[in-house]
Amino acid sequence: MIESLINTVIQGDCLDVMKSMPDKCVDLVLTDPPYGLGERLSRGAGKHKNSRMRLDYENGSQWDEKPDERYFNEMYRISKNQIIWGGNYFSMPPTRGIIVWDKKQMMPTFSQIEYAWSSFDRPAKMYSQRTIDEKEVRCHPTQKPINLMIWILQNYSEQGMTIFDPFAGSGTTAIACLETGRNYILVEKEPDYVEIINKRISTWKEQGKLFPAHVI
Ligand SMILES: C[S@@+](CC[C@H](N)C(=O)[O-])C[C@H]1O[C@@H](n2cnc3c(N)ncnc32)[C@H](O)[C@@H]1O
């Protein structure tokens, strides 16, 4: 029933998409929902030279609306496991298997880690990398490093599995899936980001592993 969605990017509200999906039909939800920090992000707007990024920061509230429990209930229903960034911003069940991204941040006023809640009953794990790689084009204010997402897929999923990202942003999850032989289904509500995702995917397909997969 979800075969037609495999390896596609859907533009729309992920709640509507998830409601149409059967129980436990994807292996893993790997996602980074908006944390509702729009107001705080908008204060950083002036610092960005890139006009697209400045616009995104200024319009933070458009894409940064925090999802309510209906979205979480649907994510739990349609998937066998879940890894959800921003676990400290949402009301999640107790878990052993948290994932920490150590951002190697030297500035004491910036956050030194980010934290993902996971449904996996296993010891907590940590990945260390300083922000996104300089070879990666920054196209979303909260873009995750491609190597972080690859590391997660290698540690928490297997080749051929289907990974669902309902809050896709710039599509880092899709590129990590392509790099590691997983199937993806992505949903993103902002048409501009859907365009960016499709561009990243087609660049990856043209260039393959010979080139940095994350450059657009
Ligand atoms: C935190 S960002 C994800 C960034 C992503 N990790 C990346 O590497 O680019 C969350 C994204 O979810 C999208 N979004 C917010 N609410 C949504 C909804 N109800 N349905 C689909 N997408 C939504 C926003 O437009 C935003 O691009």
Give pLDDT tens digits for 20-78: 999 999 999 999 999 987 644 544 444 444 545 555 555 555 678 899 999 999 999 99
Domain coverage including residue 118: 3-208
Q: With a cut of 90, say whether residue 137 has pLDDT above it.
A: no
In a domain, 114, yes or no: yes
Measuring from atom 4 of ligand 1, which residue has the nearest CA?
169
Residue 214 lies in a domain: no
Q: Hey, which of 18, 63, 172 would you mutate to test ligand 1's pocket, going by the most ligand atoms within 8 Å of its Cβ?
A: 63
CA dihedral 90, 95, 101, 102 (to 10 degrees): 110
Write the CATH number for 40: 3.40.50.150
Q: What is the CA(161)–ligand 1 centre distance, in A? A: 22
Alpha carbon of 33 to ligand 1 centroid (Å)? 6
The whole-number average pLDDT for the span 5-19 is 98
Q: Is residue 18 part of a domain?
A: yes
Give yes or no for residue 126 having a pLDDT over 60: yes
Closest to 188 measured CA to CA, from 33, 3, 7:
33
Domain assignment present for residue 124? The answer is yes
Which three-class secondary structure state does DSSP give residue 127?
A: strand
* Residue that wins the pLDDT comparison between 212 and 182: 182
Helix/strand/coil for 112: coil
pLDDT digits (tens, 9 = 90+) for 88-125: 999 999 999 999 999 998 888 889 999 999 999 999 99
Do the domain assignments include residue 47?
yes
Q: Does residue 215 lie in a domain region?
A: no
Report the pLDDT value the prediction gives residue 58, as an integer from 0 to 100: 55
Other CB atoms within a 10 A radius of the CB of residue 108 amount to: 6
Q: How many domains does the chain have?
A: 1
Ligand 1 pocket test target in 189, 192, 200 with most atoms within 8 Å of CB = 189
Q: Could you tell me if residue 213 is inside a domain?
A: no
Predicted confidence (pLDDT) per residue in 152-194, tens digit: 999 999 999 999 999 999 999 999 999 999 999 999 999 999 9
